[in-house]
Structure 1
Amino acid sequence: MPVFAAAIFTSAFLLFWVQPLFSKMILPLLGGAPSVWNTAMMFFQLVLLAGYGYAHLLTRRVESLGWQIAIHGVVVAIGLAFLPFALSGNLAPPTDQSPVLWLVGLLAISVGWPFFALSASAPLLQAWFARSGHKSSGDPYFLYAASNAGSLLALLCFPVLLEPELTLAGQAGAWRAGYAGLLLLLVVTAALLLRGRAASATPETSAPSASSWKQRLVWIALAFVPSSLLLGVTTHITTDIASAPLFWVVPFALYLLSFVIVFARPLNRDWVLMAQGAGTVAIAVMTILVLAFGLGGTVLLTVGIHLSAFFATALMCHGELVRRRPAASGLTTFYFCMSIGGALGGIFNALLAPALFSSDIEYYLALVAACLLRGLVKGDLRQYRIGDSLYPLLLGLVVALAVWRFVDAAPFAMVGRLLFLLPCALALYWFSERSLRFALGIAVVMGGAFFVRSSVDVLHIERSFFGINKVKLLEKDRKIALVHGTTIHGTQFTDPARRREPLSYYARSGPAGQMFASDGARPRTALIGLGTGALACYRRPDEDWTFFEIDGAVERIARDTRYFHYLSACQGAKVRLGDGRLLLGRESDRSYDLIVIDAFSSDAIPTHLLTREALALYLRKLRPGGVILFNLSNKYLELGPVLSNGVASVKAFARRQLYYPTDSETARGAAASEWMVIAAAEADLEFLTRDKRWLATQGQPGAAPWTDDFSNIFRVIVW
């Protein structure tokens, strides 16, 4: 039995190591977008489904245990031909369409076969153990604990040990060694199993236990909701903070931990239901707080509430799955249905939701579905009462009216917010006594708030692979803004006479305006990140400017004169679609006088634009005397010291300004921002040295600079 456990543990460790590892490899190719992880997860779930399906068919169609072992041994051995996995430096995603299919194809070619072989190993080993004649073979589900332990350890080791200590190439080599070690473990396991079978009189096969289609659909539903929620909560977190392995791994680890707990021992269902209900109510209250009053919590509070609710929901669904599991003879059918549910969750979030919804409503739909699944645990879905519909509708109407009244208004007093939110929370929690009432209550409260918020002063919404862009009016139609995720990415006066005036982070009184006012002519300028195109109005007639923008939706919005006029009024700047770092890398060295880095995904700066290798690239592309202007404005991450360490590592020089506008500057459209100017020689920054607002940079003592192989998000979070 220890050999079985070791093989299952190793297989699971490798399976869950490769997911964040290869996803991090491909992240820079797609601008660090949060959708990279969702798409990768969908692919891995589909391959997991294929692996479980193959395991199910192999154990059902091939009666001989020896032939089953031989066939799977060949499948695993073929995987060695694909290792070590690596990416070609010439790869580039399409810019004229969604890169989802391109990304799925890349994943399939690079890691598809080894992942398929690994995904089938755990259910096959458990099925083989059930036929081994061992005294515990009647209930092999306990081996699932070894699988979950390996999975969880891999996810925890990746950001803490593997990522900081090994380069991506080093990890790929270590992963290949682990895969070869697993193949040897499988050979030893097969030898012991066949020898034990030859010495025992245990029957070769047992009839599979019957499971109805209704039971299978329940298994699929109970697996679907946590899978969808996993991707939804990960996107919700990474959109504003950073799309990085740390924020992929934590929700994923909680997802796996829920399996470990429920397979280890039965949980008190009343406590789990109470925790799931309280967590969901907390999310609903936070949603109202953001949508009605424009207020949010700290990173720790916000992330903590969302992850706690997700974990409680996963415990509820996975606990019910375990309670409804079949006998050992139905093991592969059970796992196959679980993998169908997981894959459907990935497909829904990564493929269907972006096509069906203009906002990230799929996360909240999964929360509503989880509330409905409480009925499977409580058994109360068929006990309908009129209050199950009436009470939620009344509460939803009250919330919708409140959001309509206070949206974009001055922040309401704390006491007033408390007097409104506390009764809402108590009413919703009271609804949790009945599953249908609770699901409808959560649906109408959050749905009503979303509907009102998205209809008041919102002129346009467009969703792409890279995020959700909204165009909305601000300050009683005085300004129009581009909002990506939850962050404003540029504003413009609606007054035609003032349309050429850069606002917000780009105001003339701010660091960007100071830079362009004090510096001389810059004949060639490259700008990574377009936004509304406000910086184009700093261009002089004889200068050659090129914006590099990864999201075609952003360019369409910036050029649409129904909304913005910077590009049309300040003509002459070109726009090229694609990842800015990749496109800039193809330009000739020493070809630009100024490079502006102003790329964001909601409030997050893609980490591959902040690394030592990226800085070295920017410096190579500068002509003598050229400088780099970097927008570091961020609500959740303190990136100034990170970039300062990177500047020191490439032996460059920098000045930094943290700008807070005066009341009069704010009235003229300026916003707080943080910028850094970088140059290869200190003399190239002399034009800023005389300005006391620009200060010398300070890094983090003892902290290593971020590289393409290493970044430490946890250390720079503003908790």
Structure 2
Amino acid sequence: MMIPQSAARPLFVATILVGSFLLFLVQPMVARMALPRLGGAPNVWNSAMLVYQALLLGGYYYAHRLGKLPVARQARIHLVLFALAALTLPVGLIGLPPARAGLEALWVPALLALSIGPVFLLVSAQAPLMQRWYAANPQAGEPWALYAASNLGSFSGLIAYPLLAEPLLSIRAQSWGWSIGYGLLFALIALCALARRGAVDAQALTNDQKAAAPPIPRRTIALWLGLAAVPSGLMLSTTTHLTTDLFAMPLLWVIPLGIYLLSFVFAFSGNRAGVRVMTAGAWPAVFFAGAMAMVSQGANGLIPVFASVGLLFLICVALHGRLYDERPDPAHLTLFYLVMSLGGALGGLFTALIAPLAFDWAWEHPILVLAAALLLPAAPSLDWRAMPGLDRPLHRIVIAVGLALALFCAWQITMIVEANGSGLISSFWLVGVVAGGLIVSQWNWLAAMVLLWAMLAQGGLLTIKDTFEGVRQRSYFGIYTVRDRPAEMSRTLAHGTTLHGTQSTDPARRNLPLTYYGPTSGVGLVFAKAQDLYGPGARLGVVGLGAGSLACYKRPGEVWTFFEIDPLVLRYSENRTFTYLKDCAPDARVVLGDARLELARVPAGSIDVLAVDAFSSDAIPLHLMTDEAVAVYERALSPKGVMLLHISNRFIDLEPVLAADAKKRGLAAKKRADSPDPGLGYTPSTWIMLGRDPAAVAAAAAAGDGQEWLGLAAPAKSVWTDDHASILPHVEWRNVVGTPQ
């Protein structure tokens, strides 16, 4: 007995919504589980997304192949495989051995694929497979609107994780809750199979439809690939922008992905008015926000990042809207989704795997913005050629004038930027470039040329100059820039947009620790007196090598160990780009690998002073700030040992987090907020000191000629753990939305 068609549509919608909700709820959940093993580099999430896109492609291929069978047989096979995959639940990570240094880009995808591959692949098949089953009834109508429902479910799952699941539930509870949802989905799929019992043989129906449907040209398939690949790659490059300077955590991971998914809801809607409006808006946004895509230095606050997020949404709606407009006959439905998925995987492959290996900077971002300009559909509202009385010769005149104006403006902006970098004047001229770009927006290649000129003028020339001068290098863990400043007699190391160390090129000051590590900083005060506190054989550990500044606090007889996750950072010290380590602590031991994992292997009580300074640009790896991480540090400390944690951050207030952990663990705690003279090369910094012995902490705080250490602020309501942590209560929103103070 078949379920009535009036009831079948809500059933299929519910099944697709639940499947998509679960699919995109598990993405941030598994990545969050992996943080203690993988660290907080932005590429960790990009690697995870690459795995998800590959599994999604596999799921769509599975749906495409399965869709060639009769519906009843499809249902039996799918339900059996669904039940077998349930044997891998609850969701968790397998015990894969740690990655060797330099192989993280391969190890991370392997860990995630082996951990959630079976259930993710089968759940990912729901959207195309359920649409195929739905269309098996000739009276059901076209299934395309169900794809919008799929993406609405996906978007809901993403938003639910950082706003509900992560703040309210432990990782274990999340895993079991997801497993219950998996069981509900199994039941819904069974009901959908029941609804299509006795439906027309899917293969016969498909053959009849294909006989009437036109064949798909290769050029159309290539267009589908491009329209799917560019938004996918752009979504990941925008994610890198966000997580590099804030925090590697699900709230920031899901913003670009959520925008990407939400764009499908608009793009695959039957009402095309919204898509037309957003496509028209995408063109000026491409010239305004896209012009900043090559800026690598001098950006203030997060305005450029927010602009790139808005640009991502408009581009995704416009390109996915064009993809919907190019959709085939329903007979080719699973082929269409398979090509879409392949395009998404190719975009992810380019951004997550190829770009970090091929480029010294995030060149994938401007490349993808330019590619979007080449693919954006022409906006009818911007088509000046339709003006009454404007014939073809006048078209050519307007084009020539527009190009001349754009070239002149680009040249003027370049001159101004090179002369004094005046933001107001360059913005004025940028308006001229945008006007010229909109004039030629009916010809994508001309619009892309204007956009490229704007990118070069707004900072791209400086970025290209840095590439040709070889001042940047890129690894799996970040983008590093080493810059000589002759006027200041210094050499700097920047990671992303954040200064990570400076060394003076003046021989008389070459071995003086600068920036956050000066003599009045919390770490400087304690390290300078380590022998007074712990004797001539004091044992010191440092998490995060950076330029090696702290090495020059070493005194003869002390035993030093540095823990560094990135081989490229160590290379800067080995090749004497920065000479702190070679000059001041040549016998120091450097351990490559994740500091938390490596510290867990050292003998208990083997370190007297431990400094934790593991920034990734302005982001701090979450897994180095949880209660379990502090437990690892505490175990490594001697009975009277102290740990110093660097919490200087523009966007996250970490003091209440550590205060809560100190309270829970019964640790004595002090804070040193240093405001040194910047003219001497020092930078304001905040360090927190924790230790088991209150007398030892007081003695360390007294070291340094009476420099003031204070008590900690009120503790947070809950302690961060690997199982449960949320940064929302600790975000410095005034700095996020404006220029950091």
Residues 214, 285 of structure 1: alpha-carbon distance in 2 compared, 3 angstrom cutoff: closer
After TM superposition, the score normalised by the length of structure 2 is 0.88
Aligned match of 1:87:
93
Residues 693, 399 of structure 1: alpha-carbon distance in 2 compared, 3 angstrom cutoff: farther
1:290, 1:4 → 2: CA distance? 47
> Is contact 1:459-1:472 (8 Å) kept?
no
> Is contact 2:293-2:366 (8 Å) kept?
no
Corresponding position: 1:154 with 2:172:
no
Aligned match of 2:67:
59
1:456, 1:328 → 2: CA distance? 50
> Which of the residues 395, 411, 424 maps onto 1:418?
424
> Is contact 1:127-1:332 (8 Å) kept?
yes
> Which of the residues 441, 452, 463 maps onto 2:462?
452
Aligned match of 2:522:
511
Q: Given residue 677 of structure 1, which amino acid in structure 2 is its aligned partner?
A: M
Aligned match of 1:409:
none
Residues 431, 376 of structure 1: alpha-carbon distance in 2 compared, 3 angstrom cutoff: closer
> Is contact 2:234-2:369 (8 Å) kept?
yes
Corresponding position: 1:474 with 2:485:
yes
Corresponding position: 1:132 with 2:144:
no
Residues 47, 186 of structure 1: alpha-carbon distance in 2 compared, 3 angstrom cutoff: same
**Per the alignment, in what secondary structure is the counterpart of residue 470 of structure 1?**
strand
**Per the alignment, in what secondary structure is the counterpart of residue 698 of structure 1?**
coil
Which runs of 5 or more residues in structure 1 are unaligned? 407-411
Corresponding position: 1:704 with 2:681:
no
Deviations 1:442-468 (A, max 9, x none): 223324523424536965321111011
**Per the alignment, in what secondary structure is the counterpart of residue 686 of structure 2?**
strand
**Aligned ranges 1:314-325 → 2 under 5 Å:** 314-325=316-327
Aligned match of 1:238:
243
Residues 661, 361 of structure 1: alpha-carbon distance in 2 compared, 3 angstrom cutoff: same
1:676, 1:711 → 2: CA distance? 20
Aligned match of 2:560:
545
Give the Å deviation of 1:375: 4.5
> Is contact 2:296-2:463 (8 Å) kept?
no
1:204, 1:44 → 2: CA distance? 29
> Is contact 2:413-2:429 (8 Å) kept?
no
Corresponding position: 1:166 with 2:174:
no
Aligned match of 1:225:
230
2:93, 2:602 → 1: CA distance? 21
> Which of the residues 17, 31, 47 maps onto 1:39?
47
Sequence identity percentage: 37
2:61, 2:110 → 1: CA distance? 21
Corresponding position: 1:612 with 2:616:
no
> Is contact 1:501-1:537 (8 Å) kept?
yes
Residues 510, 289 of structure 1: alpha-carbon distance in 2 compared, 3 angstrom cutoff: same
**Per the alignment, in what secondary structure is the counterpart of residue 142 of structure 1?**
helix
> Is contact 1:14-1:154 (8 Å) kept?
yes
> Is contact 1:131-1:205 (8 Å) kept?
no
Aligned match of 2:679:
667
> Is contact 2:294-2:455 (8 Å) kept?
yes
2:558, 2:701 → 1: CA distance? 25
> Is contact 1:653-1:681 (8 Å) kept?
yes
> Is contact 1:320-1:377 (8 Å) kept?
no
> Is contact 1:387-1:437 (8 Å) kept?
no
Q: Given residue 349 of structure 1, which amino acid in structure 2 is its aligned partner?
A: T
Q: Given residue 629 of structure 1, which amino acid in structure 2 is its aligned partner?
A: L
Aligned match of 1:360:
362
1:268, 1:157 → 2: CA distance? 25
> Which of the residues 106, 109, 129 maps onto 1:104?
109
Q: Given residue 230 of structure 1, which amino acid in structure 2 is its aligned partner?
A: M
> Is contact 1:600-1:606 (8 Å) kept?
yes
Corresponding position: 1:266 with 2:272:
yes
Give the Å deviation of 1:699: 3.1
Deviations 1:414-444 (A, max 9, x none): xx52122222134224313323333222223
Give the Å deviation of 1:81: 2.4
**Aligned ranges 1:635-650 → 2 under 5 Å:** 635-650=650-665
Residues 387, 357 of structure 1: alpha-carbon distance in 2 compared, 3 angstrom cutoff: farther
Deviations 1:175-214 (A, max 9, x none): 222222222222222122115669x9x9586333322112
Aligned match of 1:207:
209
Aligned match of 2:122:
117
Residues 433, 50 of structure 1: alpha-carbon distance in 2 compared, 3 angstrom cutoff: farther
Deviations 1:83-130 (A, max 9, x none): 2232356741211x2311111211221111111111112211111110
1:456, 1:205 → 2: CA distance? 58
1:459, 1:232 → 2: CA distance? 22
1:76, 1:288 → 2: CA distance? 46
1:535, 1:685 → 2: CA distance? 20
Corresponding position: 1:194 with 2:202:
no
Aligned match of 2:446:
437
Give the Å deviation of 1:377: 5.7
> Is contact 2:315-2:376 (8 Å) kept?
no
2:289, 2:133 → 1: CA distance? 44
Give the Å deviation of 1:397: 3.9
Residues 88, 536 of structure 1: alpha-carbon distance in 2 compared, 3 angstrom cutoff: farther
> Is contact 1:47-1:116 (8 Å) kept?
yes
Greater shift after overlay, 83-92 or 254-263? 83-92
Residues 9, 289 of structure 1: alpha-carbon distance in 2 compared, 3 angstrom cutoff: closer
Aligned match of 1:603:
618
2:338, 2:293 → 1: CA distance? 36
RMSD: 2.6
**Per the alignment, in what secondary structure is the counterpart of residue 278 of structure 1?**
helix
1:537, 1:218 → 2: CA distance? 58
Residues 367, 387 of structure 1: alpha-carbon distance in 2 compared, 3 angstrom cutoff: farther
Give the Å deviation of 1:475: 5.2
Corresponding position: 1:684 with 2:701:
no
Give the Å deviation of 1:329: 1.4
Give the Å deviation of 1:216: 1.5
Residues 18, 530 of structure 1: alpha-carbon distance in 2 compared, 3 angstrom cutoff: same
Residues 640, 426 of structure 1: alpha-carbon distance in 2 compared, 3 angstrom cutoff: farther
Which runs of 5 or more residues in structure 2 are unaligned? 1-7, 386-391, 734-741
**Per the alignment, in what secondary structure is the counterpart of residue 473 of structure 1?**
strand
Residues 121, 274 of structure 1: alpha-carbon distance in 2 compared, 3 angstrom cutoff: closer
Residues 630, 151 of structure 1: alpha-carbon distance in 2 compared, 3 angstrom cutoff: same
**Per the alignment, in what secondary structure is the counterpart of residue 206 of structure 1?**
helix
2:351, 2:96 → 1: CA distance? 29
**Per the alignment, in what secondary structure is the counterpart of residue 197 of structure 2?**
helix
Residues 429, 554 of structure 1: alpha-carbon distance in 2 compared, 3 angstrom cutoff: farther
Aligned match of 1:250:
255
2:553, 2:515 → 1: CA distance? 14
> Which of the residues 479, 487, 490 maps onto 2:498?
487
> Is contact 2:60-2:334 (8 Å) kept?
yes
**Per the alignment, in what secondary structure is the counterpart of residue 516 of structure 1?**
helix
> Is contact 2:520-2:707 (8 Å) kept?
no
> Which of the residues 699, 710, 719 maps onto 1:695?
710
After TM superposition, the score normalised by the length of structure 1 is 0.91
Give the Å deviation of 1:556: 0.4
2:506, 2:56 → 1: CA distance? 55
2:108, 2:503 → 1: CA distance? 35
1:353, 1:546 → 2: CA distance? 33
2:309, 2:175 → 1: CA distance? 30
Q: Given residue 170 of structure 1, which amino acid in structure 2 is its aligned partner?
A: A
